[in-house]
Structure 1
């Protein structure tokens, strides 16, 4: 039987609706997670563990895109300018919420260009000394620094990032002077300590663990205010003699501002689900990281903004400024 024009129009409308519905399904193609560090450090390790789990949950490939340089701002700028469709995401920390703009004069993005989705992890940094330094505890470090002001080098994963600011805060509270040597990532910073180019570093556990396992670096203390549940045998810097010290490192998931709320909600739900998985938590704990899913996107936004303010304050304290 031949269809008349009315039937053809109705059929075409059904086809268009079906096509639009298929295009609206999220996700319908691979996702990209961008980080501002090279492979080997904590952000990269967390991104790969989380990305693998997220891929299984969303049933789409998740690509980890390392874009190191300029203290993570190259990666952040790329994401800020990306299409707000949920397919390009960013893993970062407090610096994204104000610290980057306090440190760099000519950035083309601000915290307003990012939509916070959820916190992923939290962990103290590890204060680590090179084996050749003969520094075995916080008291040794403070004594050596006071005997020869400025003679001790400390490495970091970049100017103005948490591994730099943790050392600045330590030096102020301990009343000592040290020399900062920045690198492009946590793995390189840890290697500098192992090679003796720097005597100490405040490092993410994942980035420095290979050097500890190889016997080339000695863990001295954790930076959190209280002992870490994933590293309970390490004393805190505060209980080791530097009263009032307490800094933790965290990573969270962000999307470009303008990403539809329904996609934000879907990513939040998927993230929460994978972070409460015992197997994933075990993977993170083995690298000194604790899974820390947010209660809601609004809770994470409020937390990230508070942490961003602290980051700005520490940068001001450090006196760091980059053109």
Structure 2
């Protein structure tokens, strides 16, 4: 072969490598979904249900990686510092939108270090009490707390979590002061309610409904504008005179900033397709979770608005900054 032929052959072989890599179809290997809360909690259960169907759609394994701690910030940091290639996804709650307002220092910027992919579900909260505490509704709990300042405790899934913020809002709106006890997820928080280690907790709808219906904990109220069909005897906070708690939460997926738009779109479409499955939808709706699956653009707008809303809530409720 001539010298020119050898040079051309070498050039073609060099070019073939990058072209082959660029042509690789996403996904081509296992995807990791980081859940920044403990196994057995509502977010983890949702993640397993949805990713099982996504795995069928994308034809690749998807594993749930539970990384609880720091109110969800530990898991979020792991994803923020992961390669932006679509193989590490964050499944977080609306606590993601309050992190900037609540923490004096964060190892990531929720608005700059992530791309919002899609809202998976939206939900209300069940305001739960301990079956060993005498209070059977929010009015009675507020009266008890005022009579014994600092003697009652409320739990959350971690400092800065949405469950923490809404309990602080309840404190502020009712003029009481309960002591905050953080847990690594909502599963251990339910155990604390059962044992009367805490007397109040805002629980994700799925866990709240299941545990109230099982009579393990007491339903003191719900945060929506109307009662839940699954808990018709539990009044809304507004019905009980507590205004301003007509709030909900969401679970959503994020990827690291810099992830290619086509990969973001592939993930969102897989979530939307999974949520369109009749059996999966029925499972979620029965536990009070509303399937969403909106576009990255739609969820980005929601996320931006929630960041602003929670910033105002933290300021009004005078919630101190966390380290």
Q: For residues 242-261 of structure 1, what are the structure 2 equivalents within 5 Å?
A: 242-261=242-261
Distance 2:275 2:196 in 1: 37
Please give the alpha-carbon distance, in whole angstroms, between the structure 2 residues aligned to 1:288 and 1:276.
16
Secondary structure at the aligned position of 1:132 is classed as coil
Q: Superposition RMSD on alpha carbons, in Å?
A: 2.4
Aligned match of 1:124? 124
Task: Please give the alpha-carbon distance, in whole angstroms, between the structure 1 residues aligned to 2:52 and 2:143.
Answer: 45
Cα pair 2:268 2:293 within 8 Å, conserved: no
Report Cα offsets for 1:258-293 as digits up to 9, x if no partner. 000111111111111111222111222333322122
1:71–1:159 contact (8 Å) kept in structure 2: yes
Contact 1:119 1:300 in 2 (8 A): yes
2:181 is aligned with 1:181: yes
Structure 1: runs of 5+ lacking an equivalent: none
Map 1:1-323 → 2, pairs under 5 A: 9=9, 16=17, 19-20=20-21, 23=24, 25-97=25-97, 99-110=98-109, 111-209=111-209, 211-228=211-228, 234-294=234-294, 296-316=295-315, 317-323=317-323
Give the aligned length. 316
1:101, distance to aligned residue in structure 2 (A): 2.6
SS of aligned partner of 1:91: strand
Q: Deviations over 1:293-313 (max 9, x none)?
A: 21x211110101111222222
Deviation per CA, 1:230-276, whole angstroms, max 9, x where unpaired?
65554311112213321101111101010001111111111111112
Shift of 1:159: 1.1
TM-score if structure 1 supplies the norm length? 0.89
Q: Aligned partners of 1:32 and 1:166: how far apart in 2? A: 30
The Cα offsets for residues 38-92 of structure 1, whole Å up to 9 and x where unpaired, read as: 1011111111111111111101000101111111111111101100001101011
Distance change >3 Å, CA 128–CA 298, structure 1 → 2: same
Conserved 8 A contact 1:126-1:219 = yes
Unaligned runs of at least 5 residues, structure 2: none
